[in-house]
Chain A
Amino acid sequence: MRNWLITLLIVGLISTWGCQPASKDKQETQKELKVAVAAPFTGNAAAFGEMIKRGAELKEKEINDAGGINGMKLTLLFEDDAGKDAEASLVAERISSNLQILAVVGHFNSSCSLAGKPIYQRAGIVELSPGSTNVSVCEGSDWTFRNLYRDDFQGKFIARYIDEILTDVESVAVFFDNDDYGRGLRNAFVEEAEKIGLNLVASEAYDRDNTDFKAQLTSIKAKNPDAIFVSGLYSEAGLIIKQARETGITAQFFGADGVDSPDFLVIAGSSAEGSYLTTPFTFGAAGEDALQMATNFEALHGVAPDTWAALTYDAVGMIADALAKTYNSEASVAENRKAIRDHLASLDTPEEGYKGVTGLTYFDRNGDTVNKPAYVKIVKDGQFVAADRQLLELQKIVEKPGFVPLEIDSTIDSVVEPTLTKDEKRFFWATLNVEGVILAPSSEISWAAQFLSEHNMSDSEFELFMLRVKKYREFVINHPDRVDPPEWAVGKY
């Protein structure tokens, strides 16, 4: 009897599963396009999953309010991977087996993206990660992409920034989250630090769940570093800085994109003052789109967006864009899925790239994002502001022989407007600086770097080019009323 009851229960469960009114939307005039968002909505990374969900919801709402994708409604399905690889592979199987889902935005944890990779590849569905930074995530699969940079790029970047820009820093300590993100980043940082001869005095680990960091901080303090690189996420980084100040550490703190969240400022309070961090973009400086997105986000959810919310917002946007360009209701699911992949894979040059709130995204052969600019922010008066000195993209320009920093402090008479092309003028604005401070948003700087690498000028050609740009600068200084600065530069120089 009991066995029958159990059997009945199981059969009942399976039949409710099967008999969902799935083709309900057939009666409605608007057809749905379904995209899955897979992230940790439960478990100890749930805080990040929440922001991912909110970012995705905002984009979904905006797209549908604007009339959808070619008149079809975009529907996002949120799947929880709990931050565990075993669950992630089940989610992957579940998503790729649902013949209505056309693409996947996710996963967040690198281990989850890796767990899903072979399954998505077999099923032929795009996996676009807005959060996995481990080096190997996109390797060996045509179907895996990501719209943020890898650990190795960022680790290197931070090491070089500390070495080249923060010249008063003599010794550095690393304090890293002992998981794939924190340790991967730390490895890249340590490798580069050793290469460029940065004095690394300590490297300590912590666990995300264990929020008492005083033991490690005390032993870091004994090594007396000038700067501490916290390779981890904001929820802990905020506490680390707070506890470090209690421990008596006065060193400068440095964080990576994981720290970029308003919650970091809330948790760390006044201790965060003067901390540096790198991000793929800053809401304030990335342009109008990002500011607009931040405003809309706050209006919808009541909290400020973080990096992952913005990255997910862009990832959903990219998929929607791909759907708008490739979706063919006559074609089969597999063909539509393939079309999305082909579209993403075709975004391989800056011209083709997707312009989102986090900057320009385009992919290399693996599916990794190329050259997304890293930007340095600093905490000033309880706010994130762009740091005075930026590095990498500018570096590429500065390293060119013949480059003269364009500073607005001279008073040379010149009346004739030099004849510059549109690109040359844009280059001028992008590299314009006041006392070594670049004014342009990161997207402009990276455009300038791109401009140089594309034109591949010889040294003498470049000198000539700079001469013309210099002339233009003089013109700008003397006739501010006769030039037409880009929007971001109005009133700044």
Chain B
Amino acid sequence: MKNKLTPKNIIFGLFVCFLPLLMYGLDAISLYLSQYDIYLNLPSGDYMLRIIVRAYLYMLLAIGLNIVCGFTGLLDLGYVGFYLIGGYTAGLLMARLGVTYWIALPLAIINGALWGLLRGAPTLRLTGDYFAIVTFGFAELLFRIVKNEQWLIGGPNGFVRDIPPPALFGIVFNQNWHNYYHILILLTLVIFVTYRLQHSRVGRAWVAIREDEQAAESMGINVSRYKALAFAVSAAIGGLGGGFVAQFQVNISAPFFEFWESILILCMVVLGGMGSIRGAMMGAAILGSLGEILRPGVIIPYQFGGARYLIFGIILILLMRFRPGGLVLRKA
């Protein structure tokens, strides 16, 4: 590993660490000015932090999906299924059984990984779009289960209400800046683990499988085993994201885990550049906040507010048109 402690990186790191402080500082200024009827019209700290937390969450999920899509080269259209598993495992444990977050989160991760293996078993033989459609069917099935099985979930449409915030030593973590550091720690952990995996034997085996499965097998790589590992790790990260989002959203419901979320995360991975952690993060940062930037009153005037997703779609097309290989190019 080269020396990463350049001044630029240190400044960037400090910026990330003290972002909430900056945001709330701006807040205080605009609140002060509002007394004199001067409105800066800056988005408030809480709003910005929420966007950023969500962008971080998408980064985490994109990194997770990238393991299956980017590293092993299989198109996964049902990643949201693991997100759902994590969300409902943690949500139900916390809201209905009163389990503390610190136990519910690891259980969400483990449950996610288990389902990843479960889904992986029958799909090991499948390639390309046949794999894609099976993953899609799997996610759709899970979505239907939370929608229909009311005895399990407790409310219509997969409603789990009033998921308690995590607490430690009497401090309740329910503010946006709590969540900011919370997801920052989780994200750093995930980046660290994936980075280490990518640059280990395992990562090289995954890439070998992506490039040529038969060749990899003949080189002595146990393809099924490495694929299963990829599924499990990817699903575990999805479960982690779900566990986080359950307490972040307080109330979750089935539409939260729609097929569209899968597609959105996939777009992030492809947009950033498949097989690159940095790319996945960049894609997530862009698409995760694009929806908010395109809100009327930001850069689109209010009378064209309805065009938000139209522009979103056009931007997707244009980005792919001019950077077809993704923002971060994979090294050949």
Across the interface, name the chain B residue whose C-beta is closest to A89.
B249
Which B residues are in CB contact (< 8 Å) with A79? 295-296
| A118 to B249 alpha-carbon distance, docked (Å) | 9
Chain B contact residues (Cβ within 8 angstroms of A): what range? 35 or more
A187 B34 Cβ-Cβ under 8 A: no
A111→B255 contact, CB < 8 A: yes
Tell me which residues across on chain A come within 8 A of B156, comparing CB atoms.
Answer: 134, 179-180, 182-184, 187
Write out the residue numbers on chain B whose beta carbons fall within 8 Å of the beta carbon of A20: 41, 297
**In the complex, chain B residues 290-305 whose Cβ is within 8 Å of any chain A Cβ:** 291-293, 295-299, 302, 305
Residues of B within 8 A of A94 (CB): 43, 47, 292, 295
A117 sits at the interface (CB 8 A): yes
B37, B148, B250: the one within 8 Å of A178 (CB): B148
Question: In the bound complex, do residue A42 and residue B306 qualify as a contact, i.e. CB atoms below 8 Å apart?
Answer: yes
Alpha-carbon gap, A98 to B44, bound state (A): 7
- Note all chain A residues with C-beta closer than 8 A to B111: none
* A354 vs chain B, min Cβ distance (A): 28
Complex-state Cα separation, A86 to B252, whole angstroms? 9
Q: Report the minimum CB–CB distance from B305 to chain A (whole Å).
A: 6
Q: Is the CB of A13 within 8 A of B299?
A: yes
Which of under 10, 10 to 19, 20 to 34, or 35 or more describes the interface residues of A?
35 or more
Interface string of B150-183 (1 = CB under 8 A from A): 1000011101011000000000000010000000
A97 to B256, CA, bound (A): 23
Complex formed: what's the CA distance from A333 to B309 in Å?
A: 32
Given A42-B306, A118-B250, A178-B147, the answer on whether A111 and B47 have CB atoms closer than 8 Å is no
Indicate if the CB atoms of B30 and A99 lie closer than 8 Å: yes
Tell yes or no: B308 within 8 A of A by CB: yes
- B contact residues around A4 at 8 Å (CB): none
B6 within 8 A of A: no
The reply on A103 being an interface residue by CB < 8 A is no
Interface string of B10-50 (1 = CB under 8 A from A): 00000000000000000000110011011111111111001
B255 surroundings in chain A (CB, below 8 A): 83-85, 111, 179
* Residues in A7-51 with C-beta less than 8 Å from chain B: 13, 16-18, 20, 22-23, 26, 41-42
Known: A85-B251, A86-B249, A93-B50. A22 touches B302 (CB 8 A): no
Chain B residues near A300 (CB-CB < 8 A): none
Give bound CA distance, A328 to B40, whole Å.
21
Contact with B along A168-186 (1 / 0, CB 8 A): 0000000000111011100
Within 167-212 of B, Cβ neighbours of A (below 8 Å) are at 176
A-B contact pairs, 25 of them (CB 8 A): A17-B42, A22-B41, A41-B305, A41-B306, A42-B306, A42-B308, A77-B302, A78-B302, A80-B306, A80-B308, A85-B249, A87-B291, A89-B50, A90-B50, A90-B51, A93-B47, A94-B295, A97-B43, A99-B34, A99-B39, A111-B157, A114-B159, A115-B250, A117-B250, A140-B162
What is B's interface to A at a CB cutoff of 8 Å? 30-31, 34-35, 37-47, 50-51, 54, 147-148, 150, 155-157, 159, 161-162, 176, 249-253, 255-256, 258, 291-293, 295-299, 302, 305-306, 308-309
